[in-house]
């Protein structure tokens, strides 16, 4: 084992020192002198969150299968270690070698949510890498970003040398070969960036210029040198079963958020919910073969020793071989004493039956996500379920023995009225009534019914039908939460309903960053320098420092949040393509205003544009 970057004295001062020592089961150690490329893959959050991310594990495993590449992991130091590293001038290090991140050729940062942007700057700062790409020299790592937030990379464009747009399994080998060839001919950093810009799916921000109109909207966005593509299309895996998938994920020494085997059964979603960014970004739906999943499930369990396996998908119920897969897992896992987690299921007869077999109904809850309380709003967001579906599902759950149901809703949806908000409370009460109607008194052996109703605040996202929509102010969010709380109190079963709501300040900041442009880079850097980090964590979030930073940079936050965009406005992300065309999203925005429902992909193709990839469900619908 390599000498640790942190002394025993420091490790004894911090919470969970296992975050920083590496050497976990299935971690990969190579001789740095025998590889051509060292890649530091970073999740800019605490270890427990980053190690729960499937994408990081996939890239780590795939890169380390290349003989010429050594991939190591990096995470944000927690708030107790950060000041110690600054005080003692300890550079941020990679877990496997315990060597400084600056020793890597690439620093690859996965960007899963907007609230990690200041943590990205923390990682760069502690690594001794200049925050701005324009200030980096020949000896600095190439900083590359990937993940869903790269579908609008502009608020953080100045901090990255390049972004990888799309699914990571397809183009990294080509990018590495370009890097090696450039190194072989003694090319400069600039030479490599020019060559990399020619790799499909790679966006190099410095090669594009933005101009603005007097009203602050974008006038033009165009390449500033020949040979650079004006439009960048996402990368997509066309054959999921033939693509790389982990067989030996790293097993942490300490408990992490998702402490289990994760089996990704498909990508994409047929369900066209108008608020859902992931449902658009990962189109079209592509499934993994049943035999592949069976083999990989056993391999993963054998190679990790985990005591739980979870199926990963945006909508597991839509996987065509779900019943056969679940039956197989139930048979295999019973003998191994392994639990099965079945998230993202629609509540129907099969789902309730399956969950009854794999969960202890006395200890667990069952989850519904109606998203809106009234049918009018469910049609506006194209949720595709009715109150009848919800109540029937709840009744089946109660009859199967569950007494605790979690309900997830959003407040602040486009076109929402007071009655729609109050209908959330009414629906919660109706579900409680189903329990008393479905379960006789002498059968209520698992205790009284409990309905946990939670609301988050709607944040419009790029590449959705609601990317034109205004976002509520924090005052409006608070008022709507109060209206709902009062409505809950008025229900017959109000003592059986627990209401929770999300923080308003964080939702507003997320809205600013989600649809922001390059003008936000200065404010993000200033917020970091004022002390903002771990903004996704309520106990470390500093809204006052963020608002100060926007004010000092002359940023009017309402420009990014509360105004409705015109249909002809150029968005900061319009130079990217996720496969779903803008005209389709415009039509969906207009249909939402009329409360019109669009069929899901399995029922009817709506011509979103993803059929151009010629894979997945788009092939089935055209044949």
Q: Which residues contact 490 (CB under 8 A, 6 or more apart)?
A: 425
Q: Which tens digits make up the pLDDT trace of 100-131?
A: 999 999 999 999 999 999 999 999 999 999 99
Strands 286-287 and 266-267: antiparallel
Same domain, 217 and 244: no
Handedness of CA 400, 406, 411, 417 (dihedral sign): positive
The CATH number given to whatever domain includes residue 298 is: 3.30.750.210
Cα end-to-end distance, the chain, whole Å: 56
Establish if 499 belongs to a structural domain: yes
Establish if 526 belongs to a structural domain: no
The CATH number given to whatever domain includes residue 215 is: 3.40.50.280
Same domain, 384 and 335: no
How much of the chain, in percent, has pLDDT values that exceed 90? Answer: 93
Same domain, 355 and 388: no
Q: Which residues of 189-199 are buried (b: 16+ CB within 10 A; e: fewer)?
A: beebbbbbbeb
Given 483, 515, 547, the domain boundary residue is 515
What number of CA atoms fall less than 13 Å from residue 155's CA on the CB side? Answer: 29
The mean pLDDT of 599-614, rounded to a whole number, is: 95
Same domain, 242 and 229: no
Sequential DSSP letters for 547-575: HHHHHHTT--HHHHTTSPPPTTPPPTTTT
Establish if 2 belongs to a structural domain: no
Please, which pLDDT band fits residue 347 given cuts at 50, 70 and 90? confident
Establish if 130 belongs to a structural domain: yes
- Domain extent, residue 317, equals 237-359+571-623
Establish if 557 belongs to a structural domain: no
**45 secondary structure, DSSP code:** S
**pLDDT score for 447:** 87
Given 187, 202, 233, the domain boundary residue is 233
Give how far Cα 280 sits from Cα of 268, 274, 613, Å: 8, 9, 14
Same domain, 337 and 219: no
The mean pLDDT of 230-252, rounded to a whole number, is: 97
The CATH number given to whatever domain includes residue 502 is: 3.30.750.200
Please, which pLDDT band fits residue 621 given cuts at 50, 70 and 90? low
Same domain, 13 and 127: yes
**pLDDT score for 622:** 53
Same domain, 201 and 276: no
Q: Which tens digits make up the pLDDT trace of 143-160?
A: 999 999 999 999 999 999
Same domain, 199 and 277: no
Same domain, 299 and 406: no
Give me the torsion for CA of 568, 214, 553, 203, rounded to 10°: 50
Tell me the pTM. Answer: 0.96
Same domain, 438 and 378: yes
The mean pLDDT of 426-455, rounded to a whole number, is: 95
Establish if 279 belongs to a structural domain: yes
Q: Which tens digits make up the pLDDT trace of 387-438?
A: 999 999 999 999 999 999 999 999 999 999 999 999 999 999 999 999 999 9
Same domain, 222 and 291: no
Q: Which tens digits make up the pLDDT trace of 17-74?
A: 999 999 999 999 999 999 999 999 999 999 999 999 999 999 999 999 999 999 999 9
Sheet holding 497-501, edge to edge: 366-371, 404-411, 450-457, 497-501
3-state secondary structure of 187: coil
Q: Which residues of 525-536 are buried (b: 16+ CB within 10 A; e: fewer)?
A: bbbbeeebbbbb
Match 């319009």 to its residue by tokens. Answer: 574
Residue 188: pLDDT over 80: yes
**pLDDT score for 619:** 83
Given 212, 233, 254, the domain boundary residue is 233
**pLDDT score for 352:** 83
Domain count, the chain: 3
Q: Which residues contact 354 (CB under 8 A, 6 or more apart)?
A: 323, 326, 330, 342, 345
The mean pLDDT of 571-586, rounded to a whole number, is: 98
Establish if 452 belongs to a structural domain: yes
Establish if 611 belongs to a structural domain: yes
How much of the chain, in percent, has pLDDT values that exceed 70? Answer: 99
Same domain, 417 and 396: yes
Cα–Cα distance, 316 to 336 (Å, whole number): 23
What does pLDDT average to over the chain? 96
Cα–Cα distance, 581 to 219 (Å, whole number): 20
């Amino acid at each position: 084992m390599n000498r640790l970057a942190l002394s025993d004295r420091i490790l004894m001062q911090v919470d969970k020192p296992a975050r920083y020592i590496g050497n976990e089961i299935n971690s990969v150690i190579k001789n740095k002198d025998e590889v051509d490329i060292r890649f530091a893959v970073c999740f800019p959050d605490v270890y427990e969150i980053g190690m729960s991310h499937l994408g990081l594990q996939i890239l780590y495993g795939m890169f380390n299968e290349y003989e010429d590449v050594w991939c190591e992991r990096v995470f944000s130091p927690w708030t107790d270690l950060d000041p110690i590293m600054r005080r003692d001038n300890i550079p941020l290090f990679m877990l496997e070698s315990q060597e400084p991140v600056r020793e890597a050729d690439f620093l690859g940062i996965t960007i899963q949510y907007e609230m990690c942007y200041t943590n990205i700057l923390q990682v760069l700062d502690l690594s001794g890498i200049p925050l701005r790409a324009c200030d980096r020299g020949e000896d600095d790592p190439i900083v590359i970003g990937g993940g869903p937030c790269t579908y609008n990379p502009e608020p953080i464009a100045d901090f990255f040398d390049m972004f990888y747009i799309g699914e990571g399994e397809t183009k990294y080998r080509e990018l590495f070969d370009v890097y090696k060839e450039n190194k072989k001919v003694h090319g400069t950093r600039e030479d490599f960036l020019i060559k990399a810009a020619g790799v499909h799916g790679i966006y190099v921000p410095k090669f594009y210029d933005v101009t603005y109109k007097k009203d602050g909207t974008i006038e033009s966005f165009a390449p500033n040198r020949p040979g650079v593509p004006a439009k960048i299309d996402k990368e997509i895996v066309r054959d999921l079963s033939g693509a790389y998938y982990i067989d030996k994920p790293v097993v942490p020494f300490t408990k992490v958020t998702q402490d289990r085997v994760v089996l990704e059964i498909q990508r994409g979603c047929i369900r066209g919910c108008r608020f859902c960014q992931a449902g658009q970004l990962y189109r079209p739906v592509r499934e993994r073969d049943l035999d592949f999943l069976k083999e990989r499930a056993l391999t993963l369990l054998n190679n990790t020793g985990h005591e739980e396996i979870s199926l990963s998908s945006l909508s597991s119920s839509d996987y065509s071989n779900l019943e056969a897969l679940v039956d197989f897992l139930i048979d295999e896992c019973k003998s191994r004493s392994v639990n099965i987690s079945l998230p993202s299921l629609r509540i129907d007869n099969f789902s309730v039956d399956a969950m009854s077999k794999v969960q202890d109904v006395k200890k667990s809850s069952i989850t519904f996500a109606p998203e809106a309380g009234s049918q009018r709003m469910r049609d506006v967001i194209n949720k595709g379920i009715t109150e009848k579906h919800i109540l029937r599902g709840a009744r089946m759950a109660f009859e199967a023995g569950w007494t605790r149901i979690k309900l997830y809703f959003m407040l602040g949806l486009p076109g929402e009225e007071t009655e729609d908000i109050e209908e959330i409370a009414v629906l919660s009460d109706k579900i409680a009534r189903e329990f008393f109607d479905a379960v006789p008194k002498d059968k209520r052996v698992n205790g009284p019914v409990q309905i946990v109703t939670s609301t988050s605040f709607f944040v419009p996202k790029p590449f959705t039908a609601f990317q034109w929509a205004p976002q509520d102010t924090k005052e409006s969010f608070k008022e709507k939460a109060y209206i709902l709380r009062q409505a809950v109190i008025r229900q017959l079963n109000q003592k059986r309903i627990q209401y929770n709501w999300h923080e308003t300040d964080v939702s507003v900041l997320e809205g600013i960053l989600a649809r922001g442009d390059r003008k936000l880079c200065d404010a993000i850097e200033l917020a970091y320098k004022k002390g903002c980090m771990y903004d996704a964590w309520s106990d470390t979030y500093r809204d006052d420092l963020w608002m100060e930073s926007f004010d000092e940079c002359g940023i009017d936050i309402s420009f990014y949040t509360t105004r409705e965009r015109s249909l002809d406005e150029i968005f900061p992300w319009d130079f990217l393509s996720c496969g779903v065309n803008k005209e389709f999203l415009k039509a969906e925005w207009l249909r939402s205003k009329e409360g019109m429902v669009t069929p899901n992909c399995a029922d009817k193709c709506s011509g979103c544009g993803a059929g151009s990839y010629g894979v997945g469900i788009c092939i089935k619908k055209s044949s």
